């Protein structure tokens, strides 16, 4: 596989400053003995309030990059409670997760808004991690692939091939998030293969073969090796198992 793997920790609304510090210190300690040349790209996406501290803790560790969990696509202004791309840039954030199912479902974010975010992030030379995923009802109704094709097509609306190459996709079946029910590795592989077909249609095979696509949904140290062995899966977007240093380090090792 020529695509470099990614292990990304989405902390969601967890970790105070002191908890964040302990977690990052544990991760830094755990990766010390690892061969850095074989390590995946590691991303930590803390809450906004811990960004400063995490940035400081990882500043001498080039194998770990900073991520954000969300962003507002507007430059600045009257958007109470929101954070801009320039503000994230201040903290050397490199990746921004957008379109997470929790944002779509709990905060009613539309495909159009997610597309707006993707374009603004790319325009600022940061990397969007564009999430997609189906509900259990959609899976049972046999419309998973159609639904994902729609989400991906809308997320990439108006984005050129050159810019699409600067993005990452995360396939996160909603029924597998935080439930302990991992999507079977072969099925996740098949579904991600379908997402690549959509990217081939939107762009071409070259783009589809270069864009990294992660799997997310109850990824654990016990599942990562089989997941990483799949041709189409380029890494993991991890919630629960990224909140504990030892398990996150095991996930990094599983991707080496």
Q: How far is the CB of 180 from ligand 13P (least distance, A)?
A: 8
The answer to whether 147 is a known catalytic residue is no
| Three-class SS of 30-88 | HHCCCCHHHCCEEEEECCHHHHHHHHHHCCCCCCEEEEECCCECCCCCCCCCCCEHHHH
- Phi, psi angles (nearest 5°) of residue 140: -65, -30
Check residue 240 for interaction with ligand 13P (CB under 6 A): yes
Q: Please say which residue, 74 or 83, places its beta carbon nearer to ligand 13P.
A: 83
Our finding on whether 51 is near ligand 13P (CB under 6 A) is: no
Q: Which of 100, 102, 134, 232 is flagged as catalytic?
A: 100
Which residues in 95-124 contact ligand 13P (CB under 6 A)? 100
100 is catalytic: yes
List, as own/partner pairs, every contact residues 200-204 make where C-beta atoms lie below 8 angstroms and the sequence separation is at least 24, other chains included: 202/152, 202/153, 202/156, 202/164, 203/161, 203/164, 204/161
| Site membership for ligand 13P, residue 67 (CB under 6 A) | no
Q: Provide the pairing of β-strand 41-45 with 64-68.
A: parallel
Residue whose entry in the numeric block shows the structure tokens 């990304």: 8
Please identify, among the stretches 73-81, 186-194, 217-225, 247-255, the one whose residues bind ligand 13P according to the rule CB under 6 A: 217-225
Please, what is the minimum distance in Å from the beta carbon of residue 96 to ligand 13P? Answer: 13
71 or 207: CB nearest ligand 13P: 71
Regarding 237 and contact with ligand 13P (CB under 6 A), the answer is yes
Write out the catalytic residue numbers. Answer: 100, 172
């Amino acid at each position: 596989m020529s695509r470099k793997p990614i292990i990304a920790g989405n902390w969601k609304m967890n970790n105070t400053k002191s908890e964040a510090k302990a977690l990052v210190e544990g991760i830094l300690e755990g990766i010390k003995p690892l061969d850095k040349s074989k390590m995946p790209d590691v991303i930590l996406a803390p809450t906004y309030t811990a960004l400063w501290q995490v940035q400081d803790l990882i500043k001498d560790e080039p194998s770990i990059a900073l991520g954000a969990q969300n962003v507002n696509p507007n430059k600045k202004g009257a958007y109470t409670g929101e954070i801009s791309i320039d503000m994230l840039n201040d903290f050397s954030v490199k990746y921004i997760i957008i379109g997470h199912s929790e944002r779509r479902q709990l905060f009613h974010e539309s495909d159009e808004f997610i597309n707006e975010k993707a374009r603004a992030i790319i325009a600022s030379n940061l990397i969007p991690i564009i999430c997609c995923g189906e509900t259990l009802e959609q899976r049972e109704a046999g419309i998973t692939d159609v639904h994902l094709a729609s989400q991906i097509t809308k997320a990439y609306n108006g984005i050129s091939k050159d810019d699409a190459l600067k993005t990452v996709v995360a396939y996160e079946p909603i029924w597998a998030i935080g439930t302990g029910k991992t999507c079977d590795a072969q099925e996740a592989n098949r579904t991600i293969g379908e997402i690549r077909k959509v990217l081939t249609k939107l762009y071409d095979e070259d783009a589809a073969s270069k864009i990294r696509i992660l799997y997310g949904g109850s990824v654990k140290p016990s599942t990562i090796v089989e997941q990483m062995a799949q041709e189409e899966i380029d890494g993991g977007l991890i919630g629960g198992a990224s909140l504990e240093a030892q398990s996150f380090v095991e996930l990094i090792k599983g991707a080496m």
